[in-house]
Every structure is written in structure tokens, then in C-alpha cells.
Amino acid sequence: MPNIPLRDILIIARQESVQMRHHYIGVEHLFLALLQIQGGLLSLILEKNGLSAEYVADTLRRKMERGSSQRLWVGIPYTPRAEVVLDIANDVMLDNGNDEVTERDLLHAIFIEHDSLPIRVFQSMKANLVALKEAVLTLTPSNEAILSSTAITFGEAFDRNANIPREHLFVLRKMFASHASIRIERNLTGFRREALIVVVTPIQADNREDAPVVAKIDQKDSILDEVQRYETYVRSILPLQTARLEENPTVPDASELAGVKYSLVANVGDIPQDLRQRTRTHGTTGLGRLLQHELYEQFRKTWWQQKRAYRFQVWKEYDWLLPPILTLDYVPDREPPPNAHHIKIPFNRPKLKSRLKDEIQFGDIVVLENFTVQKVDRQQDLLKLGIGYGSEADKRAYRMDVRGVHLARSSFYRGEVIERIIGRVMRTRNDVLLQAVRDLQPPFDPRTRWVTLGEHRLPNPLLAYEDLLDRHLNGSMSRIHGDLHLGNILIGPNNRIWLIDFGNTRDGHTLFDWANLEISLLGDALMPSLGDEWKTVEEVLDSLIWLNSDLPMPSMNDEVFTAIASITAVREVVHECLTTKDNWYEYFVALTLCALRAVTWDSMSLGGRRLMFMVAGLALLELNRKYLNTPSHTPPIDEGELTDHLPTPVSGDGSRLTSSGSGTGSRAALPATAPLNPEPQETPERALGEDEKLLLLQAIEPAPPESTELSKPVDPDEPPPTPKEPIP
């Protein structure tokens, strides 16, 4: 009994449509899809009536003119007639007491409707339509009908709740077209986008199983970008036994998606899992040893131990992590009003920074010039722009998101430089971050200089990140993975470690990977098992403070203890990778910004995000502690200067930010915001007076004077550059 469900037929129909540049699904596309089912009902019916499927398909295609390259509508809609046919098919299905439309129901519906192009083609062939319709109801193909040559089954470890979208299945079948079937063993959790990553066992026609591979399916340009990065940065330097990207990605014409395979050099039956999955059964036990002795040892020579001297301004490596600087609503191309703000690349960073802070407000018109397309997100209708194109982190800095461009109708591509695009300011980076922190329902006011959790008083990262981005670091550059978290590290039998997902691999700040890994250990592995309570966050914070100090060890439960042990292992790796021996400054800068980024992640648990915010604060505290430990004097804190750095919400999406306000007089004219008390709500200096450790909190460092690339940066915290390093 043939039973090809409608959803599989629709995939083929959509393909047909896109290949002919029609971009709509009509009855003719559905019919062509039915013709492609090998051994299916339609082929059989035609055969019994002296027609071949190829002949009918060919005649039909000639009647369907190829569409033009212009698309005048959004998406791939059904024609009114296709909708009628699908409605009839649904009725037929219900009449037959079934719960899924099959090829027979659909074919029956096409004959009932009787007015579509395929029917007209039959008429022009003088085919006997009565006999054909009769055959739809009576004939049954003897063999199993096959839509695709590759069958898909699922292994035991596959999470049945994970629904793989059919378009992903379509690409997956294409990827394994030369195999009789595949078994999807496991879905990996290591993705934060729409990507699908699964472990697949390919099975030959004679039922022989091949070694498992990892298949990744994602947006086309993401896959192609990853392949390119792999070629540039990874292929030549991988340790012998690790995941390798197979040479050619699968890029089907008719899909927005593409797929790549990572071969693992594994034995048949060795099904790897990612480390995040492992923590669900094993907790963080043994994780530190794995990271330090398997992962680091395997890769350090070609990756993190390259350590070329690299002095950089923090934003170049870390700005791209944070939310877009502006989120704009697209304004269709017209002459911008005279009071529009122009942001043109190249720009002067200090000037732009002060304009962003003081001039550009919610609702203003902004003209972006010479920005580069980073990503075209058709699903969310979001155009993501940055300052350049390339794998280096600074090319992705200064992200600007433009919404509502009707991307389905426009032809932007990744890497394209857009001469001019106009939009209305809906949100700033500060808005996004502040809202993310509000969503955590913090027991403190996220707009004050200090945040208090239990006994901990930490500097507020929301007020400090801007200055952090301006600082200069004496760091080092190595080849880095770029997105190292527990989900991207696979483990097989005998603790063999593989890395996957090279979509961000590049030459960059050496410590970035390890700061990310610490974030992942805390946020992905530890917090989900502990829960979301602030009280829990506080306890974990106790342990982390201990990690950074010489204080006696606080009491902690086993779970926290093993997690801290694995972080200790990460810190040992970091210690080896530090540019200047025992100077942790660069690490805590990285950790602050990585943690702050994670606060905005929907995919992280509430408890995880809560901890992330506090970790960012704690890392800031550490920074300042280092600062105080240098022999130089403690600069007094200028109240005014600090309040200047208050995130200034511009009342983005309607009213949810209306309770917030501006800390600077220059924005007094801001609409719909209540004035904010410019005084900090606490006087932490006094409260902390007796506690030596908390005294350190005062040292929120004012930003160093803006310096151009040519002048020697002024950063009292930084040790002078080593003589070997050229001063630019």
C-alpha cells in the first residue's frame, strides 16, 4: 500500500517550483511531485493507460513557462486552485477515516477539481480522464513506493521530541543519496541557531553500516562560510584523529539550506555525544580532566599555543559579541530628512561613540552608509550589518540590525556592501542589555553603579562594558575555535575528543575560547542542575570568589564542587596561555564580555543567565583588583563620569522601558521616559568601608583617553609592551 504522506510531496513540489523560478505552489507542481514517486500510484495509473510518467511530465513542463527572476511576492504561497485541491484532498482523507493526506487523496482531489493545468494537459493528449479517475480509486501499486532513495530511521538515543523540519530531512537525504538508508543516532545540542546537528550512521544497500558521521544542516551562507573557514584555518593543522569536514557541502538549488558532514575517524558503532549531553548523565565529573588533558593537549600546539604578540583595542575582538548597537526599522529608500543621522564607514570611533550616546535617540532616522551584510535572516526578516567582511572579529563589530526589509523580495547577500540604507531607531544596545537583565527579575536595580546580591556587591557590567571596549590589551593571537562550548565538543568511547562547528574559527584573541568554555561550564552544565533561584546564584558566586582568592574554601555541595574543579582546570589552561605570566587582566576582560553576552541568550536557563550577569560583575571586580595591586595610585571616582555611563534606554518597543530614564542632561528631551534620579541609589563606598576586599570595588576605572591607532595607548593597568613587540 503506497503511503507517501503529503508533507513529503510538498517538499518536491516546492523544489519544482523554485527550479522553474515560479516561487508559488500550484496544482501543476503538486502533480509533478506525484509523478516523481518511483513505483507510485500516478506512474502506475499512467502506465496502465499507455502513458509514461516522463512523457506526461515533459508535456506539462513545456506548458508551464519558466518564471522570471523577479519575485513580486513574499515566500512560496499556494495558488487559490492549489488551496482548493488541498482542501478537497483533506475532505477525501476524512471521508476515508484517515489522519494524513496521501498521494491517492491528493490525486483524487486533482481529478475532482478537474480544472487545473495537468487536467488540461491530459485533455490535449486526448487521454481518457474517466478511466484515469477510476484508476485512482482502484489501483494499488504492488511494490513499496519510494519517494527518495534514502530511507531514514532513528536510533535509540535520538530524542523523539525533537521534530526535524522536513526541509532539513530533504537536505539530509540529498547528503546521503548514495546510501540506501541512514539511521539518525542522536541529535547534538551544540547549536544556538536554527542549525540541525545529528550523528548519522550511513547504511549501504547490502545493509553494511559505515562509521558514524556528524551531519550539520544550516542556512546556505553559514555552511559555505564554515567550509571556507575550515579550509583556511583548520584543515592543515588538525591533529590526526579529529573531526574533519568533508570536502564538498551539499547545496541543493531548491532549498535555502545546505549541509556538511564531519567525518570522525571512528569505528562502526561508536556513537559520540556532545559534552553538554554528557553533563546530563555524569554532571561535570571528570570534565576538567577531559578539557585540560584531552582537548587542550591535543590542539594546543597548532591552536592556543601559537600566541603571537597582539596588542589590540578590546572592541576589535569583543564588540561583535554584544547585541546590535542599533536596531532599526527599515524606511523604504527615499531622501532622508535633513535632521537624519548619517553613520558612514569609515568613522571615527570616539566621535561615533559620543554621538550614539548623546544624539541618536529612539525614533530618529539613521542613514547607514557602506555597511556590510553579515547575515540575511529571512525567517525573522532581519538584515544584520557590520563594518566589514571577513573572518576577523573586528569585521563583525558595530552590528546594526535592520528589520522589515522584506528580505524575501530583495536580493541582499552576505558580504555585500550596502551603499546606503535608512532606518528608524527602535532599540539601542543598552536597551537590549538592560531589558535582558530586567528579564532576570534581579533583586537590585540594574541601572545603579553597584549591584548587590546577598553579601556580594559587584560593579555593574552594564555601566562598564563601554569603557572596557575602549581599552587596549597586550594579548596574544592564536588560531581559535571561535565558538567553543560544551555542545561543540564531542566525546566518543575511550574519551576521544572531537571538535565540530568551525563557523567562527579564525585567528583571534587566544583566551576567547577558554573564557567561553568557562561560561559554558557554568551556564550550560552547572546551573541547569541547580535551578534558577537567586539564592543558588549567590552560592555559586561564593565558590567563584573563592576560586579567585586566597580565602578559605567555603562549603559547597558536590555538584558545585565538581563544577568548580573543572573551572580550575580551565583556569590552569588559561594560566599557560596568558601573554604575560600571572597577569590575568586579559582573561577577565574576555570573561566579562563573554558573560555579558550570555545574559541575552534565550537558550540558556534563567538561573544560567542570572549567574552570567553576576559572573560579569565578578570578573570586573577582579579586573579592578589587579588594577589596585599595581603600585600606581588609586584614581578617585568621579560620580558624574560614572553616571554618564548609565545605559540610556530609548524606550524601544513601546512602553516596556518607560520606567527607565536618562542619566545625562543632554537627553532631557527624550520622549516617554521618566527622569532618572542621577544619584546612585546606594553609597557603596561607605557601606564597604571596613571590608578590605570590597574596597576594591571603588576602582571602576575611568576610560583611558581616546587614542588613535598611532598614539601610544594610555592604560595604567597594562604592563608596558615587551621590547619585541612593535608599538604601532
Quick check: helix, strand or coil at residue 362? coil
Site for another protein in 83-102 (CB under 8 A): 83-84
**Beta-carbon neighbour count of residue 241 at 10 Å?**
13
User: In angstroms, what is the minimal distance from the CB of 728 to another protein?
Assistant: 54
- Read off the C-alpha cell for 126: 486526448
Helix (H) or strand (E) holding 465: helix 461-470
For residue 155, CA distances in Å to 259, 261, 525, 630 come to 20, 18, 25, 58
Regarding beta strands 341-344 and 257-263, do their DSSP bridges make them parallel or antiparallel, or are they unpaired?
Answer: unpaired
Chosen residue from 65, 87, 231, 679 binding another protein by CB under 8 A: 65
In the list 11, 14, 22, 197, the residue contacting another protein (rule: CB under 8 A) is 22
Regarding 695 and contact with another protein (CB under 8 A), the answer is: no
Question: Whose Cβ is closer to another protein: residue 76's or residue 352's?
Answer: 76
Q: Which amino acid is at 666?
A: S
Least spacing, CB of residue 69 vs another protein, in Å? 10
- In the region spanning residues 100 to 139, those forming contacts with another protein, defined by CB under 8 A, are 115-117, 124
Residue 80 or 723 with smaller CB distance to another protein: 80
Looking only at residues 151 through 210 of this chain, which bind another protein when binding is defined by CB under 8 A? none
Residues with Cβ within 8 Å of residue 149, at least 6 apart in sequence:
177, 180
Binder of another protein out of 13, 14, 26, 609 (CB under 8 A): 26
**Interface segment toward another protein; rule CB under 8 A; list 1-9, 79-87, 102-110, 665-673:** 79-87
356, 664 contact by CB (below 8 A): no
In the complex, the smallest distance separating the C-beta of residue 32 from another protein, rounded to whole angstroms, is 14
Q: Select 24 or 154, whichever has its Cβ closest to another protein.
A: 24
The residue (of 74 and 551) whose beta carbon lies closer to another protein is 74
Nearer Cβ to another protein, position 23 or 174? 23
State the minimum distance, in angstroms, from the CB of residue 168 to another protein.
26
* Residue 32: alpha-carbon gap to chain centroid: 36
Nearer CB in complex with another protein: 122/450: 122
Q: Does 68 bind another protein (CB under 8 A)?
A: yes
Q: Which stretch binds another protein (CB under 8 A): 70-78, 139-147, 150-158, 378-386?
A: 70-78
Scan for cell 560544551, then name that residue. Answer: 486
ω into 346 cis (within 30 of 0): yes
Q: Interface residues for another protein in 585-604 (CB under 8 A)?
A: none
Residue nearer to another protein on the CB measure, 84 or 418: 84
Give me the DSSP letters along 82-105.
HHHHHHHHHHHHHHTT-SS-BHHH
- With H, G, I as helix, E, B as strand and everything else as coil, classify residue 57: helix
- 505-542 CB burial, b ≥16 within 10 A, e <16: bbbbbbbbbbbbbbbbbbbbbbbbebebebebbbbbbb
Q: Is 80 in the site for another protein (CB under 8 A)?
A: yes
Whole-number Å distance between alpha carbons of 382 and 362: 19
H or E stretch covering 498? strand 497-499
Q: Which residues contact 162 (CB under 8 A, 6 or more apart)?
A: 187
Q: Given the rule CB under 8 A, which of 16-24, 145-153, 163-171, 608-616 is the region that contacts another protein?
A: 16-24
Residue 561 found at the interface with another protein (CB under 8 A): no
Backbone phi, psi, residue 678, to 5°: -70, -15
Q: 116 or 327: whose CB is closer to another protein?
A: 116
61 is a site residue for another protein (CB under 8 A) = no
CB of 335 to another protein, least distance (A): 24
- Of 289-308, which residues contact another protein (CB under 8 A)? none
Query: According to the binding rule CB under 8 A, does residue 52 interact with another protein?
Result: no
Shortest Å, Cβ 590 to another protein: 51
In the complex with another protein, which residue's Cβ is closer, 115 or 247? Answer: 115
Who's near 510: CB < 8 A, 6+ residues apart?
A: 304, 306, 307, 475, 476, 477, 478, 480, 577, 579
Nearest to residue 275, comparing CAs of 517, 34, 110, 107? 517
Instruction: Identify the CA nearest to 430 among candidates 596, 206, 264, 185.
Output: 596
For residue 116, the minimal CB distance to another protein (Å) is: 8
Q: In what order do the strands lie in the sheet with 181-187?
A: 151-154, 181-187, 196-203, 213-219, 257-263, 244-245
Question: Which listed residue (9, 18, 23, 275) binds another protein by CB under 8 A?
Answer: 23
Q: Is 79 in the site for another protein (CB under 8 A)?
A: yes
Closest distance to another protein from the beta carbon of 164 (Å): 29
Least distance (Å) between residue 50 CB and another protein: 20
Residues β-bridged to residue 476 = 309
Give the relative orientation of helices 80-95 and 103-113 as an angle to the nearest 10 degrees: 120
The nearer residue to another protein, 62 or 686, going by C-beta atoms, is 62
Q: 558: which 3 cell numbers?
A: 558536590
| Residue 18 to residue 243: CA distance in whole angstroms | 34
- Count of residues that bind another protein according to CB under 8 A: 22
Nearer to another protein, 76 or 695 (CB): 76
CB-nearer residue toward another protein: 21 or 208: 21
Q: What is the smallest separation between the CB atom of 451 and another protein, expressed in angstroms?
A: 55
Cβ closest to another protein, residue 125 vs residue 727: 125
Give the whole-angstrom CA distance, residue 414 versus residue 399: 14
Per CB under 8 A, 37 contacts another protein: no
Secondary structure E strands in 264-381:
273-274, 308-313, 326-330, 341-344, 365-377
Q: What is the largest CA-CA distance in the chain?
A: 99
* Rounded Cα distance, 440 and 133, in Å: 62
- Of the pair 28, 513, the CB lying nearest another protein is at 28
Written as one letter, the residue type at 462 is L
Part of the chain binding another protein (CB under 8 A), chosen from 81-89, 352-360, 389-397, 587-595: 81-89
Q: Taking the chain, what is the end-to-end CA distance rounded to the nearest angstrom?
A: 75
Q: Given the rule CB under 8 A, which of 61-69, 153-161, 163-171, 374-382 is the region that contacts another protein?
A: 61-69
13: contact with another protein by CB under 8 A = no
**What are 633's three cell numbers?**
595610585
Contact 234, 245 (CB under 8 A): yes
Instruction: Return the number of the residue (69 or 339) whose C-beta is nearest another protein.
Output: 69
Give the phi and the psi of residue 451 in degrees, each rounded to 5: -120, 140
Chain contacts with another protein (rule: CB under 8 A): 22-24, 26-27, 64-65, 68, 70, 72-73, 77, 79-84, 115-117, 124
